[in-house]
Structure 1
Amino acid sequence: MVVWCKNNAALLPCVLVIWSSAAFIVSYIFAVLEGHVVAFVPYISDTGTCIPESGVFGFMISVTAMLGAATMYARYKIIQAQNVRISFLSYWFNLTSLLIGILGCIGMGIVASFQETSVTTVHDVGALLTFICGIAYIFLQSIITFKACPQWSKKGTCYIRMTISVISIIALFPMIICASFDGMKFYRCEVGEEPSPYHQASAVCEWIVAFGFVTFFLTYIKEFQAVTLKITTEIQDDF
């Protein structure tokens, strides 16, 4: 972790990757130990529905959403600066990618604020917004990475990011389809009851997509090490 964080702006994606991974894992451990979910791949939202893990889940996912938005904005500014030196991308393409990513972060905030069993419709809309916009964001960023090659990115990074994007896209469809067949309902761990195959298949795909996002942002760390971010303040003359 020290090596990842020591140079320039690399701290931002590094903290995002570690914090978001911890948010998923800690909530899962709490939920399993309390007997609220099955140990074999529950829905991510299922691990943050019951007390006490709901408080941990809501807090950590909210922070993840903010860190994600900050990292996306930093990435937007980096591409903008690179594009000034060597033009390789439309301004609108970069901006569109950022706005879609921010929508995904808003969806994550909705998921954290509205629990699955209390406001189900709002929670499900937030979850769909998170996954669909998140996948769209990493796919657009993969295209940008290819366009920036070889001046600002390496071929290996291009292929890694596109592979993560494709795997996430492939996992998205069975996640939604199986969830619709299962009714997208919360499964509580009860003696003698087992989640349906549709539930388990959808949950597996959901975890694949979630850690696809984590892995994608992990690839940002090396690039952010070569970047310095500064906040400047300008006072207007008519203040």
Structure 2
Amino acid sequence: MSSQTWLHFLPLSVFFIFPATFLITYCISVLLGHTEPDFPYISDTGTYSPESCIFGQAVNMGACLVGLTVYVRYRQIAELYQTHSTQSNILRANRAAAFFGYISALGMSLSANFQETNVISVHLVGAIMAFGGGTLYLWLQAVCSYETHPLLNSMGVAHLRLGLGIMSASFFVLGCVCAGIAHSLFDGVDPRKWYPSNGGWTYHVISTASEWICASTFAIFMLTLVPEFRRVSLNSPEIFIDLETLSITSIHEACNSIESNGGGLASRSISDESLGRALIPQNGDRDSRQVIVVDDVVGDVVS
């Protein structure tokens, strides 16, 4: 089994893909006049095509990377404490963190694929899952980081992650409250083009700024995982195939079907090893056997 040591690229990719995506879609949406340059929501930059296509595809890729990162982080802590029965608290926190991490990744995909102008209810649910789940994930990871000190991380890293969790929670709540107030006071035509003359402008700015800061805390947290993931390796999974269910009768019937359809059959002698153990020895006999093959595919055992 080969060992993979490239896992640190997972959180590093997450750190780059989301800011790059938001910057690209922001520039496109502003240049095309789909949104105003002053304090738009992140999702406002990916509402209309063509930027919505880029936004959806990139965020889906990022969500997959987040899910993989969450899984590796979960396994890292689980493997570290699997023989320590007294550390049940961190194991529970680790499982809860993985759950909310997956919820956050799913929410990212939902909010990107269901634009606010198409299915607003699903978009809002996805946004709450992404930011709310991400905030809980940061808090639980901060708890785990204090427990894993000094085995995996320094105390400074634990303090940093706690600070990111506090920031994320604070701005998540602030953003939700101000967004509700801003939309209740909005008296314009299109919320994607919110001007200072429209009602609720101040609350709108606070809400959008909070959203961008909240997203930034999640990206910075991912960056803190890079040094730890450099010391983690992953073995390629083993694949097992139950060949006992492959009966000689079924092979013979398949060959007859091919022959009845005009397929050409050729006979040759090959060994079990050359078949890659695709045929199971009968009565312990591992001698070469006569088989019928169709275009190098094993067809039937003659003898």
TM-score, normalising length: structure 2: 0.72
> In 2, distance between residues paired with 1:164 and 1:191?
31
Change (3 A) 1:190 1:69: closer
Instruction: Report sequence identity in percent.
Output: 31
Residue identity in the other structure for 1:29: C
Pairs within 5 Å for 1:207-222: 207-222=212-227
Q: Which residue does 2:280 correspond to in 1?
A: none
Pairs within 5 Å for 1:99-138: 99-138=99-138
Q: Which residue does 2:172 correspond to in 1?
A: 172
Residue 159 of structure 2 corresponds to residue 187 of structure 1: no
Q: Which residue does 2:10 correspond to in 1?
A: 12
Report SS of the residue matched to 2:66.
Answer: helix
Shift of 1:80: 1.0
Change (3 A) 1:39 1:89: farther
Contact 2:195 2:201 (8 Å CA) reproduced: no
Answer 1 or 2: which has greater strand percent: 2
Pairs within 5 Å for 1:40-119: 40-84=38-82, 88-90=87-89, 91-119=91-119
Change (3 A) 1:86 1:55: same
Q: Which residue does 2:28 correspond to in 1?
A: 30
> In 1, distance between residues paired with 2:195 and 2:153?
52
Contact 2:171 2:214 (8 Å CA) reproduced: yes
Residue identity in the other structure for 2:164: I
Contact 1:82 1:152 (8 Å CA) reproduced: no
> In 2, distance between residues paired with 1:155 and 1:170?
23
Shift of 1:187: 2.1
Report SS of the residue matched to 1:151.
Answer: coil
Residue identity in the other structure for 1:208: I
Contact 1:111 1:126 (8 Å CA) reproduced: yes
Shift of 1:40: 2.2
Residue identity in the other structure for 1:109: S
Q: Which residue does 1:4 correspond to in 2?
A: none
Contact 1:62 1:112 (8 Å CA) reproduced: yes
> In 2, distance between residues paired with 1:191 and 1:137?
35
Q: Which runs of 5+ in 1 are unaligned?
A: 1-6
Q: Which runs of 5+ in 2 are unaligned?
A: 246-303
Q: Which moved more, 1:138-147 or 1:12-21?
A: 12-21
Relative contact order, higher structure (CA 8 A, sep 6+): 1
Q: Structure 1, residues 63-104: CA drift from partner, whole Å, max 9, x if none?
A: 111110010001111111111365645433211110111011
Shift of 1:23: 1.4
Report SS of the residue matched to 1:188.
Answer: coil
Q: Which residue does 1:205 correspond to in 2?
A: 210
Q: Structure 1, residues 20-44: CA drift from partner, whole Å, max 9, x if none?
A: 2211111111112212222122100
Contact 2:22 2:42 (8 Å CA) reproduced: yes
> In 1, distance between residues paired with 2:101 and 2:108?
11
Q: Which residue does 1:226 correspond to in 2?
A: 231
TM-score, normalising length: structure 1: 0.90
Q: Structure 1, residues 104-145: CA drift from partner, whole Å, max 9, x if none?
A: 111111101100111111111110111111100011001100
Shift of 1:152: 2.0
> In 2, distance between residues paired with 1:64 and 1:190?
28
Q: CA RMSD in A?
A: 2.2
Q: Which residue does 1:158 correspond to in 2?
A: 158
Residue identity in the other structure for 1:54: S
> In 2, distance between residues paired with 1:95 and 1:110?
23
Answer 1 or 2: which has greater helix percent: 1
